[in-house]
Structure 1
Amino acid sequence: MALLLPPLSSVPPPSSSHSRSARSHVISPYLFHASSETGGKDGNEPEAAPPEGSQLEAASVENLPLESKLQMKLEQKLRMKLAKKIQLRRKRLLRKRKMRKKGRWPPSKMKKLKNV
């Protein structure tokens, strides 16, 4: 189903006193195709069987719970990775704090302490 509409720029403003026949330029129509998602149907056309693409969409809708489970698992995995990074960083900082308290940090200081 194709629709022919004139471009918006060729529509005269309401206050214009010129008639359409007095114009010197030609109106070039735009071609628009109606999508199948819209509800507009002509009464003349018989209803056609749904295309095969709609069956694929229906199959993908059935798989949505599985996809959402996979998405949740992926999000959980990312949260666990982030938590592990935070734990390792805390552990490393705690180790540094204890070593500073004992006078063994920074490591470059160890060379100086060997001769003491």
Structure 2
Amino acid sequence: MATLDVLEKDNALERLNAAGDMMRKALQEMVEDLKLDYSVVGIASMFKIFFGPKPNNYAQALKCDKASYFAFFRRMLASGVFLTPSQYETDFISCAHSDEVIQATLEAFRSCLKS
């Protein structure tokens, strides 16, 4: 019950979902600006960059560039951002992520996607 109280306070779910929408939009713009053949997926406070076209099923998801994703994961980790190590797992924004942390994360994404 305490968790539900925290989520109701200050419209936490709405803020999380809005942050997720903003994160996916910013990542999609990055992917397009950098002319990468990647896709941004997610819902609510969840997000993920697939290293390949947007998968619509399991077989398509298996075709993503796992080696490039893992190299990207290591660059992000070196930048101080811990993402899921698997291309197939989603990433989350939580109540602990402030606007400043989200902006720093987006800066790390841009830097690591460029390299």
Bin the TM-score by the shorter chain: under 0.3
- TM-score scaled by structure 2? 0.26
